[in-house]
Amino acid sequence: MIASVLVANRGEIACRIFRTCREAGIRTVAVHSDPDENALHARVADAAVRLPGAAPADTYLRGDLIVKAAVAAGADAVHPGYGFLSENAGFARAVQDAGLVWIGPPPEAIEAMASKTRAKELMGVAPLAGVTEADLPVLVKAAAGGGGRGMRVVRRLADLDAELSAARAEAASAFGDGEVFVEPYLENGRHVEVQILADTHGTVWALGTRDCSLQRRHQKVIEEAPAPGLAPGLTDELHDLAVRAARAVDYVGAGTVEFLVADGRAHFLEMNTRLQVEHPVTEAVFGIDLVALQLRIAEGHALENDPPRARGHAVEARLYAEDPARGWAPQTGRLHRLAVPDGIRLDTGCSDGDEIGVHYDPMLAKAVAHAPTRAEAVRRLAGALERSAIHGPVTNRDLLVRSLRHEEFTSGHMDTGFYDRHLTALTEPAPDPLAPLAAALADASARTGRFGGWRNLPSQPQVKRYAVEGEEHEVRYHHTRTGLTADGVRVIHADGDRVVLETDGVRRSFDIARYGDRVHVNATTLTALPRFPDPTARHAPGSLLAPMPGTVVRVAEGVTEGATVEAGRPLLWLEAMKMEHRITAPATGTLTALNAEPGRRVEVGTLLAVVEEHAD
């Protein structure tokens, strides 16, 4: 019997595994980097061990330090979670060599499937040996790891070498393995996967299907189970292929076999020898706890001959601290509040007041809805996200809500090109037009009280200015004998936390929360502007500012002050939250300033370069 488990991971997945361990009466041990010293996963564990440093390569990818931590803390088992070392056969062996229980598949199975190139060979699928014009478009893909890192779509042969180099660099940084390969890129297919679970007694379960087609940068955004609209014969084929893959490597534990479904056919992609981020939708549909089953399998227990029956439909949305309208740039800052309505499962590694930093993946939480039908589950999740209180950095919440309500998604006819087609429309600013007025009235009430601002003589209206979705809004209101008023709007109630307004006979309520100059009005976020703008807060035309906090990892060859650059040419790359972000020239012109060198840490708004556009 397992008595104590160290989770070799961080954030949401560590907290999720700890929850099951606590329910089972198992003691928990966390590991944490220096930036994660006060992270939620380190706080909720029974014990925590420091991994000195900040970068993953110095901390969560140091298997030797993690094994030492497990021994020092008295753990008798290690759960790898997902990402980091979860698919590292050497780490699995090191855990076992230390006399600890490895809550995962045998190292030999990891070796056979963790490398996507070897997995394809095992399943009879060969990567492209050489790329010609006829093969385009192609996908450059990291052999190790996942999460969209080390992946590039190449549509021009001339771009292949540069994209191979970029993918190798990103894969090496994220996974400690720079191996990449090239495969045909099948556009407009569906990403469908099968959850498997296998014990040491020869039983393998295929737990339905999941659809993960809504992706950005090859990283999943919305997932659901079961995959909608699959023909029964195709579902059976996917199950058979998944079980075949598991039996081919004598698999044990939880894993996922991924496919691209195109033209009614299943194309094998890879097998993930670990728990997936999207495992909660399978748990909801089958009424099981996959982590609890992982623990039982690691203890040697046998599965039932047949899995439980699937019931209903489940949908999961990944909430990220990022701005989809601005190139998915990661966001940082204090997460003041994160709360969803009752009836929604929320898996998170954050709590109110936590700081979102630059070192790791920007996912804040996963929200999951389960209902008897797909339509009900989708509606429930969209409504819950819309009503959630998410106060802090910019998030992708609005994108999630709009995606869930998009006709292509609600009809079940989406594919992996969904965001390529619809991102512009889905990220069009659509703030609540009454939000600035509600913010102004709440601020006025908090400052003056209900009658404190009233004057016995006619006076000019009070004016406040807010920035919403990049646009400035000016609000005018009056203090009167009966309270606050605004032209065309009846003010029913106003205090510092809540405002009720009536327009055209329709009454609406607004919950208000303010943190410094940021104001959250229901789902709309505003920035209170000073009464008089700062004339010094300007930059020269052509200035390139850091869109996020991060580190300059490289500068393009030949990019120096005085050089001529073409519009769209990559100038430098920032690394933030384990992803590389390319900074390109905004116009053809002369590079008159360059304030970036590899290794330099920058904050949001730091001036990186200036391109003076040529007059012609």
Could you give the residue numbers annotated as active site? 274
Task: Write the CB contacts of 482 (distance below 8 Å, at least 6 apart in sequence).
Answer: none
Whether the Cβ atoms of residue 606 and residue 581 lie closer than 8 Å to each other: no
Residue whose pair of structure tokens reads 């590694």 in the numeric block: 349
What number of CA atoms fall less than 13 Å from residue 515's CA on the CB side? 14
Task: Write the CB contacts of 456 (distance below 8 Å, at least 6 apart in sequence).
Answer: none
Buried/exposed 559-593: b ≥16 CB within 10 Å, e otherwise: beeeeebeeebbbbbbbbbbbbbebebbeebebeb
C-alpha span between 484 and 441 (Å, rounded): 7
Beta bridge partners of 485: 478
C-alpha span between 280 and 123 (Å, rounded): 27
Query: Quick check: helix, strand or coil at residue 336?
Result: coil
Nearest to 51 by CA among 66, 73, 71, 29: 66
C-alpha span between 433 and 402 (Å, rounded): 18
Q: Which helix (H) or strand (E) holds 122?
A: helix 116-122
User: Exposed, middle or buried by CB within 10 Å (0-12, 13-18, 19+), for 507?
Assistant: exposed
Tokens standing for 80?
Answer: 């790898």
The secondary structure of residue 96, as a DSSP letter, is H
Query: Quick check: helix, strand or coil at residue 139?
Result: strand
Helices (H), 179-231: none
Tokens standing for 492?
Answer: 């029913």
Beta bridge partners of 79: 7
Nearest to 14 by CA among 99, 72, 96, 85: 85
Total length of the chain:
616
Cα–Cα distances (Å) from 500 to 214, 485, 512, in that order, read 37, 12, 11
Task: Write the CB contacts of 107 (distance below 8 Å, at least 6 apart in sequence).
Answer: 89, 90, 92, 93, 96
Whether the Cβ atoms of residue 485 and residue 477 lie closer than 8 Å to each other: yes
C-alpha span between 576 and 256 (Å, rounded): 28
User: Exposed, middle or buried by CB within 10 Å (0-12, 13-18, 19+), for 78?
Assistant: buried
Query: Quick check: helix, strand or coil at residue 582?
Result: strand
Helices (H), 353-414: 374-387, 397-405, 407-410
Tokens standing for 67?
Answer: 């094994």
The secondary structure of residue 530, as a DSSP letter, is P
Whether the Cβ atoms of residue 131 and residue 182 lie closer than 8 Å to each other: yes
